[in-house]
């Protein structure tokens, strides 16, 4: 999926690099540097609808600011519409 467009749900961003939050044991996570922030996203989805459904579940459990973003070749393309 490296060359294809994928969707992920961003749950947090930091100004400082908090690598302690990233773990090789966590699968389907993304850690992306978007100056000046470091962002953490969960899930790798092929469709926007799948990512939006996952986002809704994350919001339900307390990640109120979570949003879906699309990525291509490891770089964020855009923030997607929440619905």
Q: Comparing C-alpha atoms, which of 10, 20, 22 is closest to residue 63? A: 10
Number of residues assigned to the chain: 83
CB-based contact 80:7 (threshold 8 Å): yes
Cis peptide before 63 (omega within 30 of 0): no
Q: Comparing C-alpha atoms, which of 38, 49, 45, 35 is closest to residue 5? A: 45
Assign 47 a pLDDT band (cuts: 50, 70, 90).
Answer: very high
Joined together, the tokens standing for residue 32 give 């992306």
Structural domains in the chain, sorted by start: 6-79 (3.30.70)
Residue 63 has pLDDT above 80, yes or no: yes
Q: What is the arithmetic mean of pLDDT over 42-62? A: 93
């Amino acid at each position: 999926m490296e060359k294809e467009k994928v969707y992920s749900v961003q749950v947090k961003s930091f100004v400082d690099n908090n690598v302690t939050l990233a773990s090789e044991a966590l699968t389907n996570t993304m850690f992306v540097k978007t100056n000046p922030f470091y962002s953490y996203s969960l899930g790798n989805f092929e469709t926007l609808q799948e990512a939006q459904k996952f986002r809704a579940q994350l919001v339900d459990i307390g990640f109120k600011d979570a949003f879906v973003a699309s990525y291509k070749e490891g770089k964020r393309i855009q923030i997607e519409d929440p619905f």
